[in-house]
Amino acid sequence: MNRKEISELNSMLANLPKGSNIPHSIYVDNLHTPFIEFEQDYALPPCSVFEVDFPAAKSFLGSIKERLPELVSDCLVLPEPRPKRDSDRLFLVKPFYPEEETFRENSPKYWEKHLPPYLLVVSFQLMYLGGAEKQDVLAQAIQGRTMSVRTKRIYYLARVVPLDYLIIDDGLVVDFFPRKYGESEFMVQVGAEYHDNIRHTHSEIFDEVDYSKQIKIIGETLGITSKDWLLGRIFEPLAVEYLTLTARFLDSSLGKIARDFISFRQVVDLLLTSDNMTFEESARESLYTWLRSHTSERILSPSGNMAWKILREERT
């Protein structure tokens, strides 16, 4: 999408009337992908198979802003997906601060002078994943474009990325660099030397490696047990993504996400630094409280696939 199109999409999301999300439930499917399900369906538009194009993004955001204002209000559209291989996803970002004025809405000039330490990144899957009933198909797929269907689901992922640098070009947020997590430099074997001495090198393949070992170590370091995180491997609340450590959320309100993250942000900050510091007990307890607020119910979708309905205890 070009600059004019991105600006138009940003304007759609700017200063939405204050309102609450319409009733919905949040699930995680058997591929560990979260989705939001409404009581009523909406039209998922056709989309280019090569990228999320402007007509598809405009139609989709027009539907979403009425249904989920708490998730998209005052967000900014990234011109390109991050990582680039997620070409079938639309990315929205929203910088924030751990201060009284958490959000400084659409303030690129301020952000350039006062770097926000964190970035909310929300991605939406716009290409239909299949399984539509015949009566729900609005337009069949044609060469280079996906089908349009009526559906109750929105596949999405919301995470907080610690920021090192925010790239702003003429008032548009075009990219970001995260604070680097040292363990994201993944050791790979590239050959053998004399006497079988193994040469290693650091490979920073962008999000193409399995970080489950690092996540396990982080969980053990923080003392997180199965009694603290009841969802187990259904969904990872902490992940190594964008070569940093992110917190991932099963929520549909960016205000609530930011508030939850700020309550335990020190845990993430200290894991990203080499300083020998101790966790504040309040941050550790806030992390545990957030983890323990999640439970789930296993269900079967109409197509027979397993999914988990996420249940949350309201945090005060």
Q: Are 126 and 60 in contact (CB under 8 A)?
A: yes
Digit-coded pLDDT (tens) for 247-283: 999 999 999 999 999 999 999 998 888 665 667 888 9
Contacts of residue 52, Cβ cutoff 8 Å, sequence gap at least 6: 1, 81, 87, 88, 89, 90, 126
Digit-coded pLDDT (tens) for 72-103: 999 999 999 888 888 889 999 999 999 877 88
> Per the structure block, which two tokens stand in for 199?
């040469």
Question: 75: helix, coil or strand?
Answer: coil
Digit-coded pLDDT (tens) for 187-218: 343 334 434 333 333 344 444 567 778 888 88
Give the residue with greater pLDDT, 165 vs 280: 165
Which percentage of the chain shows pLDDT scores above 90?
Answer: 51
What count of other Cβ atoms lies within 10 Å of the Cβ of residue 24? 18
